Amino acid sequence: MMTSENIIEVKNLKKAYADNVVLEDISFTVKKSEKVVLIGPSGGGKSTLLRCLNKLEGDYSGNVIFEGEDLNGASTDKIRTLRQKMGMVFQQFNLFPNKTVLENITFAPIKLKVATSDEAKEHAYMLLEQVGLSEKANAYPQSLSGGQQQRVAIARALAMNPEVMLFDEPTSALDPEVVGDVLSVMEKLAADGMTMIIVTHEMSFAQNVADKVLFMDKGKIADSGNPKYIFEESENMRTKSFLSKVM
Ligand SMILES: Nc1ncnc2c1ncn2[C@@H]1O[C@H](COP(=O)(O)OP(=O)(O)OP(=O)(O)O)[C@@H](O)[C@H]1O
pLDDT in tens, 201-239: 999 999 999 999 999 999 999 999 999 999 999 999 999
Residue nearest to ligand 1 atom 2, measured at CA: 17
pLDDT in tens, the chain (247 residues): 444 589 999 999 999 999 999 999 999 999 999 999 999 999 999 999 999 998 888 789 999 999 999 998 889 999 988 889 999 999 999 999 999 999 999 999 999 999 999 999 999 999 999 999 999 999 999 999 999 999 999 999 999 999 999 999 999 999 999 999 999 999 999 999 999 999 999 999 999 999 999 999 999 999 999 999 999 999 999 999 999 999 8
CA 130 to ligand 1 centroid distance, Å: 33
Please tell me the total count of domains within the chain: 1
Please list, in sequence order, all residues whose beta carbon lies within 8 angstroms of the beta carbon of residue 131, skipping any fewer than 6 positions away: 151, 152, 154, 155, 185
Ligand 1 atom, smallest distance to 18 CA? 4
Q: How far apart are CA 173 and CA 90, in angstroms?
A: 10
pLDDT at 1: 46
Is residue 1 in some structural domain?
no
Task: Show the domain range for 206.
Answer: 6-244
- CATH of residue 181's domain is 3.40.50.300
Query: Beta-strand (E) ranges in the chain?
Result: 6-17, 20-31, 35-39, 61-66, 69-70, 86-89, 164-168, 195-199, 212-217, 220-225
The pick from 23, 26, 46, 201 for probing ligand 1's pocket by mutation, whose C-beta has the most ligand atoms within 8 angstroms, reads 46
Please report the pLDDT score of residue 2 as a whole number: 46
**Domain contains 197:** yes
Separation between Cα atoms, residue 176 and residue 10, nearest integer Å? 34
ipTM exceeding 0.90, yes/no: yes
pLDDT at residue 110, rounded to an integer: 97
Query: For position 72, what pLDDT does the model report?
Result: 86
Question: For ligand 1, atom 26, which residue shows the shortest CA distance?
Answer: 42
- Tell me the pTM: 0.95
